[in-house]
Amino acid sequence: MKPIEIVAQVVGIFAMLFNILSYQCKQQKGVIFMQLIGGLLFAVNFLLLGAAVGGILNIIAVLRAVLFMFEDKLKAGRLPWLFAFMALYILVYIMSFTVFDKKPTAYNLIIELLPVIGMSALSIGFRMKDAANIRKWGLVSSPSWLIYNIAVGSVGAIICETLTLVSIFMGMARHDKKQTASKNAE
């Protein structure tokens, strides 16, 4: 393994820690802040591995997280923001086959689409008002990213999405079931 690949994998491991721990936060802003840091580190991870789409989408994820952290001031919950991010994700997807010269084989068309699906799911989740909904949309995002991470060989990202799925289920069991039980008891 080349030194740059070792650095990329180490950065990916740190990114993984932030993303996994994010699902244990009780509040929306905590989840988003932890994912902001994880996204920044994963952007570096993917770019060092030569996975431009993953890197650029994570840079956009950092911008999205900042927007949603200041949701009230920036009116992040409004639909035009969601459409703007979706347009950016699609643009990055198109760029992978034009600017970055990825061959448009059936395999590449599918693999490069997966992180776009993952980003879209979390963008929808971030519009929700509670962490429970973010966790639900994470169940769409994580499997999409997991397959992409396997394809590009990011060890930290593979472990991250595997553990993120476990963390989402744990967060659902710890927080969401208790909230549902409390609401049903009222």
Percentage of residues in the chain having pLDDT higher than 90: 56
Amino acid at 105: T
pLDDT at 123: 83
159-167: long-range pairs with CB below 8 Å, 24+: 159/13, 159/16, 160/12, 160/15, 160/16, 160/19, 160/20, 160/38, 160/42, 163/16, 163/20, 164/19, 164/20, 164/23, 164/138, 165/139, 167/20, 167/21, 167/23, 167/24
Q: How confident is the model at residue 97 (pLDDT cuts 50, 70, 90)?
A: very high
Does a structural domain hold residue 167? yes
CA dist 50 and 180 (Å) reads 44
Does a structural domain hold residue 82? yes
- pTM value > 0.85: no
In the predicted model, is pLDDT for residue 182 greater than 70?
no
Average predicted confidence (pLDDT) for the chain: 88
pLDDT at 183: 63
Does a structural domain hold residue 43? yes
| 159-168 confidence digits (pLDDT tens) | 988 988 998 8
- Domain membership of residue 23 as a residue range: 3-179
In the predicted model, is pLDDT for residue 178 greater than 70?
no
Does a structural domain hold residue 184? no
Does a structural domain hold residue 113? yes
| 117-143 confidence digits (pLDDT tens) | 999 998 888 777 788 888 899 899 999
CA dist 37 and 57 (Å) reads 14
pLDDT at 78: 78
Q: Per-residue pLDDT averaged across 39-58, rounded?
A: 95
Percentage of residues in the chain having pLDDT higher than 70: 94
pLDDT at 128: 76
CA dist 165 and 19 (Å) reads 11
Counted domains in the chain? 1
Does a structural domain hold residue 129? yes
